[in-house]
């Protein structure tokens, strides 16, 4: 009887150990699958502008992205309104605008996180994701902008330079600051990218 009880106890431990190992392995497989589903360009984290909370760009895998370096005191600053309209119009179809404030050009973004976020929202109603102030050009460019430049998009020459990234995480094209968010060429490129599976 004691032997049977010990055997049952041992059998229970093996079953529990097996279940634990299975869960651990399936968790690893799931993490590996998630990493594989996230293109290399998006395997980066940046702090959110409003509260410095870390944001992994992998959350945008499978979306069409319009990556823009922004500034609050620039002749192109009113483009915020057009960018927000694009996001509102095409967001449900898979477009995400990602804003990266930068003081690289003409020192036209002197403010800090919350002040920039408040300005964007209160002045232009910006709801698309915005990230902490960063360097977007030269040797100190953040990894996302460095990779976009290397992929053929060139480095931003001024504020409101734009990169269009497909659902596969690859650069489609880049656009100068002069290209307005509602320009027919950019809108057509966005629509074409959104039509891709």
Which residues carry out catalysis? 74
Inter-residue contact 97 to 124 (CB < 8 Å): no
Q: Rounded to an integer, what distance in angstroms lies between the CA atom of residue 40 and that of residue 2?
A: 58
Separation in Å, CA 110 to CA 53, 73, 113, 128, 162: 21, 9, 10, 21, 21
Check residue 130 and report its DSSP letter: B
Q: How does 27-66 read in b/e, with b if 16+ C-beta sit within 10 Å?
A: eeeeeeeeeeebbebbeeebeebbeeeebebbebbbbbbb
């Amino acid at each position: 009887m004691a032997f049977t009880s010990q055997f049952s106890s041992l059998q229970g431990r093996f079953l529990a150990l097996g279940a634990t190992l299975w869960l651990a392995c399936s968790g690893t497989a799931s993490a590996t699958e998630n990493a594989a589903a996230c293109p290399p360009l998006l395997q980066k984290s940046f702090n959110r502008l409003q509260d410095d909370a870390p944001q992994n760009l992998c959350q945008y895998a499978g979306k069409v992205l319009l990556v823009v370096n922004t500034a609050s005191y620039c002749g192109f600053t009113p483009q915020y309104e057009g960018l927000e309209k694009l996001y509102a119009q095409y967001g449900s179809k898979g477009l995400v605008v990602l804003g990266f404030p930068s003081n690289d050009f003409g020192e036209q973004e002197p403010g800090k996180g919350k002040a920039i976020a408040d300005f964007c929202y209160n002045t232009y109603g910006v709801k698309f994701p915005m990230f902490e102030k960063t360097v977007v050009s030269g040797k100190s460019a953040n990894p996302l902008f460095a990779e976009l430049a290397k992929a053929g998009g060139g480095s931003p020459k001024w504020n409101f330079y734009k990169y269009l990234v497909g659902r596969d995480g690859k650069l489609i094209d880049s656009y100068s600051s002069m290209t307005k968010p509602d320009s027919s060429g950019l809108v057509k490129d966005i629509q074409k990218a959104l039509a891709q599976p």
